[in-house]
Amino acid sequence: MTKITIKETQNPTILKFEFPDFITQNENYEFKNIDETKNSPLAQQLFYLPFVKTVYISGNFIAIERFSIVEWDDVKDAVAEQIEKFVNDGGTILTVDENKSKKQPITVYGETTPNPAALKFVVSRMLTKTPVEYKNIDQTSSSPLAQELFKFPYVKEVFIDENYVSVTKYEINDWQEITLELRTFIKQFIENGGTVIDESLLDIALKDEKVKDANFDSLDETSQKIINILEEYVKPAVAADGGNIVFDSYDDQTDTVKVMMQGACNGCPSSTFTLKSGIENMLKSMLNNDNIKVEAV
């Protein structure tokens, strides 16, 4: 008999209903209305509940986003019971093509970065569209993969973006001692259906990005130009090295641009050179302002 465990998320409108075992391997699903649920009889049934807005299926859980017409405390137990009854009565959670249901092998290889303390593990599939940085295990609620990586004593930070995982290590080990172990672990974790990024929490991140986009229009013209330059010319270059750069602020009184360095760029010995000789000079030239200064925060 399947027993569902109810778990809260950082988003009060989204609740997770966890299964004791994986219900999908290597695939994540998002259903925004009943018309999209042709391959999920369970999701189809859930949409008959008037408060269900979105259904996510990933790894070992189903996450449901509700409309504001109800509170989860009033309905969560009934929803869990409905899911349990559906599954225990033999209902189908997902109908997937037989070829897709088979274990999908992936390749993972390591790439060096300008930061000797960071290594970039490139995966042969997309992992996320939103870059996420984890500086300690307490921050990893949205990433089971990052959470597991922090259990290795030499892992200091984890950065996940697009199709790669950037790992920053402590100095207690050399890369030649641990690269194979990390590469094998990441490969097996993903192949066995482990969740890289929790889709229900990734949805929050995407909403945060939309908020940032909305705030873009309220910025001054120079700040907007700086963001566009970083996005078009700088980010692709640092991403190739397993890192990321994020605009923080621009002070028009001091002509100071502040940015956040993430992933392999964070703590990299050459990051100061990159900021001053690369990004700062580029901004001076493209903004026609020789007083521009770039600082990391």
Domain boundary among 60, 83, 100: 100
User: What's 186's domain CATH number?
Assistant: 3.30.1370.70
Residue 172 and residue 226 share a domain = no
In a domain, 214, yes or no: no
In a domain, 205, yes or no: no
Residue 109 and residue 91 share a domain = no
In a domain, 188, yes or no: yes
Low-confidence ranges of the chain (pLDDT < 70): 25-27, 96-104, 199, 202-214, 241, 264, 267-274, 276
**Helix intervals (H) in 89-244:** 98-101, 144-149, 175-191, 199-216, 221-229, 235-240
Task: Using alpha carbons, list the distances in angstroms from residue 118 to 80, 132, 175, 273.
Answer: 42, 16, 9, 17
pLDDT at residue number 104: 64
Count the domains in the chain: 3
Residue 186 and residue 127 share a domain = yes
Domain coverage including residue 127: 105-199
Residue 113 and residue 80 share a domain = no
pLDDT at residue number 29: 83
Residue 177 and residue 149 share a domain = yes
Residue 26's φ and ψ, nearest 5 degrees, are 65, 10
Residue 229 and residue 180 share a domain = no
User: What's 281's domain CATH number?
Assistant: 3.30.300.130
What are the tens digits of pLDDT across the range 120-152?
Answer: 999 988 888 778 889 899 888 889 999 999 999
Residue 128 and residue 90 share a domain = no
Residue 223 and residue 168 share a domain = no
Distance CA 174, CA 79 (A): 50
pLDDT at residue number 101: 46
Domain boundary among 167, 199, 231: 199
